[in-house]
Every structure is written in C-alpha cells, then in structure tokens.
Amino acid sequence: MQKIVVITGARGIAADVIERMIKKEYKVIAITKTDAASIPSSCSRYVADITDEAKVKEVLHQIDQEFGRIDALINNAGVGHWKTVEDMTSEEFDDQMQTNVKGVFLMSKYAIPLLRKSSQGHIIHVASDLSYTSRPKASAYCASKWALLGFAGSLKLELAEDGIAVSTVAPGLVQTDFGGVPKEKKEHGLLPEEVGAYIDLLVEANGTSQEIIIRPKPLT
C-alpha cells in the first residue's frame, strides 16, 4: 500500500526527506509557509502558516477529503533567532515559540484523526540536540525545543492505545541555511541527508516510537 506522508517545510532536511519519499513512490504532501518553487512537481503542496489554526484545520480537512488518511506526519518546520536575551525582541521570541511549539501542536492535533485511519500511523518531530542542553544566544530556541520534547512525550502516551507512534529526531548542527547562518559556515555540521536517513527509517518503522539524537563527529 502506498504510504501517505505529510511534511512541514521544503528546504534543507525537508528537501532531502521529500526526495527520499518520492523515490519510494510514496504520496508526499508538503505544507509550506510560502510557495516553494523547489518542491518537485510530483509532491503535492499546500501553502499554510502552521501557526494559523483555521488554516491548518482547513488544509488537513482538504488532505482528508483527497487522500482519506495520513500514514506519517513529519513536523519539520522550525525557526531560530540567535541573540542574547537582552538583544532579542519579543517578536523574535514569539516567532520561535509559535512555529516550533504551537505549529507542532496544531499540525498534530488536526492530523490525529487522519492518522487513526492508518494501520501504521506515525508522528515524527524534528527536534534538536538543544532539546537536551543549552547554549548562549539560543534561549528561545532551546526553550521551544525543550517544550517540543515534553509535548512529544505526552503525545506518545496519549496515542499509544490508538497504535500511533510518536518519535523525535534531534540533530545537532546541520549544514543548512537556518537561523540567519548560511550553510557555508557550518562545514563541520551534519549533512541534511544524514538526518533525512534517520527520518526515512522511522517512516519505514511502521509504528515504533523512537527518540534519536544525532550529533556531528567530534573534530580531531
């Protein structure tokens, strides 16, 4: 049976995952904040701000009407602003909490009924190794990713009786353009495809919850 996979975002890690899923001839549906021209034509796409509850509800309803179920939801979209607490604006703080936490909540909430229609439903959250530790100039990002980890843990317990798995993939530094830092300045980070490979394995796991931390090799 062809799997139906929904992913938020289209660049970096998401781009690699989309390519992997298409090669397996899965039905891939990308939800992006803006119209992303880089998405392959074989990938269905919806433009939606995942922090907008009405829009998220509308998009998931449309997916339900067209496909009837979801086998995997990959909550990948995220925002990062690297500033000290003193220099960070309240808007930048809110942006991270809204996207990284509320957006995940909304996507999960409205996807659950569609995942129940699958015999192998799986919610996969892209967290961060900063879900487990802290660093300077990352206060709001760390707070959002710590919150995501707690959210995922509770959600896993809530959905266990439904047979829906809930997993987190927590990568360290990844060579993508993110948080205002270009990938060229992250030469010692993970490659997007290294993270994508783990997400691919989870999609294939058919309902087995996992918590995976991936870090770059230490410099020698």
141 is catalytic: yes
For 47-67, the pLDDT digits (tens) are 999 999 999 999 999 999 999
pLDDT at 181: 63
Of the residues 26, 110, 141, 198, only one is catalytic, namely 141
Q: What is the mean pLDDT of the chain?
A: 91
pLDDT at 182: 64
Residue whose tokens read 């691919």: 200
pLDDT at 147: 97
Domains of the chain: 4-214 (3.40.50.720)
For 163-211, the pLDDT digits (tens) are 999 999 999 876 776 666 666 765 777 788 999 999 999 999 877 899 9
Whether 78 contacts 126, CB under 8 Å:
yes
Average pLDDT over residues 20-31: 96
For 146-170, the pLDDT digits (tens) are 999 999 999 999 999 999 999 999 9
pLDDT at 220: 56
Q: Exposed e or buried b for every residue in 12-40, given b needs 16+ CB within 10 A?
A: bbbbbbbebbbeeebbbbbbbbeebeebe
Whether 54 contacts 60, CB under 8 Å:
no
Asked whether residue 92 carries a pLDDT value surpassing 70, the answer given is: yes
For 102-124, the pLDDT digits (tens) are 999 999 999 999 999 998 899 99
pTM over 0.85: yes
CA angle (99 as vertex; 127, 57 as ends), nearest 5: 110
